[in-house]
Amino acid sequence: MNTTVAAPVVPPFAVVSGRQVKEVLKGRESEVTKVVEATYRLHAAGRTVNPPSSFLRFDDRPTSRIIALAASLGGDETRVDGLKWIASFPANVRSGLPRASAVLILNDPVTGYPFACMESSVISAARTAASAAAAADRLSRGRPRPARIGFVGTGLIARYIHTYLTGTGWSFEHTGVHDLSAESAAGFRLYLEQTGAAGPVTVHEDAEGVIRSSDLVVFATVTRRPHVTEPSWFRHNPLVLHISLRDLAPRILLSATNIVDDVDHVLREATSPHLTEQLVGNRTFLHGTLEDVVAGRVTPPADRPVIFSPFGLGVLDLAVGKYVYDAVARSGELMLVDRFFDELNRYG
């Protein structure tokens, strides 16, 4: 019986541009959301490796940072290793540049060789928005479906979240908007009105107005510390997608049902859940993960605010990145870099 095992082969190295990423993801919000939900299931089943993110900070640029998210994703068709390297430089906005830029490296799990470098700011935004859309769907079950949405923060992430909500079947009677930048708020309002899917749009002067007038509240800011401190603003028990993680004071989390993507990951880097844990000395205020809700292990009550605080897992970037890579490969439009790895004989 021949038991010869084929020698591993180094895969060709490809570069996938932002334009290609956008072309693959456009109009596929439901598919990408399903990819994200499937990845959460793999993560809950222990079929991923997702170490803590590494933060590169700068003494001379305190508002800026670059984050490395290494991860490994299991699964029969999704097996891949890799790294997202994403920079956040808020000062870019003043000169008209996007705040965030990113690349995603995909590694072959057999040889370890990288086989793709992908523009990843769009992948990152898409996986974040898909996670938010999945949470909005799952956490709104068992309560009246939100009809009024409010956005605190109006950048790229807010736009993608709105796109993914409407792309997965949501519609809203009214949309509220607040941003510290009047120009950003006006631009987002124009975008919403042009989509035709937002209903009337109101720009609020403060976060309180948005929160009190919304059944579904999306926080997508770049704040470094809590700026929303009054639990009474949430007395109407809205569903809150706390995407930017640092907007809410601990007293608000303590008055709500708190759902996260991963307990250990979210309790670090001065997130609102982290500050709450430091205040009370335990993590019992966290009621479970989104996968716990999907699996029926946790049912959020309808008589309290529900807050979803996702730290953002590197395995989600890998899953969406691999989805995009496979689609581009099937199209025959991969941009291969000839002889990127030139020394492939161990002995020279």
**Residue 287 is encoded by which pair of tokens?**
């009621």
Residues of the chain with CATH 3.30.1780.10: 14-123+314-336
Q: Which residues contact 194 (CB under 8 A, 6 or more apart)?
A: none
pLDDT in tens, 281-304: 999 999 999 999 999 999 999 999
- In one letter, which amino acid is 180? L
Between helix 156-167 and helix 182-195 the angle, nearest 10°, is 20
CA nearest neighbour of 176 among 233, 135, 224, 131: 233
pLDDT for the residue numbered 2: 57
Asked if residue 272 has pLDDT above 90, the reply is yes
Fold classification of 14-123+314-336 (topology level): ornithine cyclodeaminase, domain 1 (3.30.1780)
Please identify which residue in the block is written with the tokens 């569903």. 239
Fold classification of 133-309 (topology level): Rossmann fold (3.40.50)
Residue pair 121/86 in contact by the 8 Å Cβ criterion: yes
- Determine what percent of the chain is predicted with pLDDT higher than 90: 87
pTM of the model: 0.93
pLDDT for the residue numbered 195: 85
Residues of the chain with CATH 3.40.50.720: 133-309
3-state secondary structure of 226: coil
Average the pLDDT over each of 7-11, 186-190, 316-320 and give the range with the smallest value: 7-11
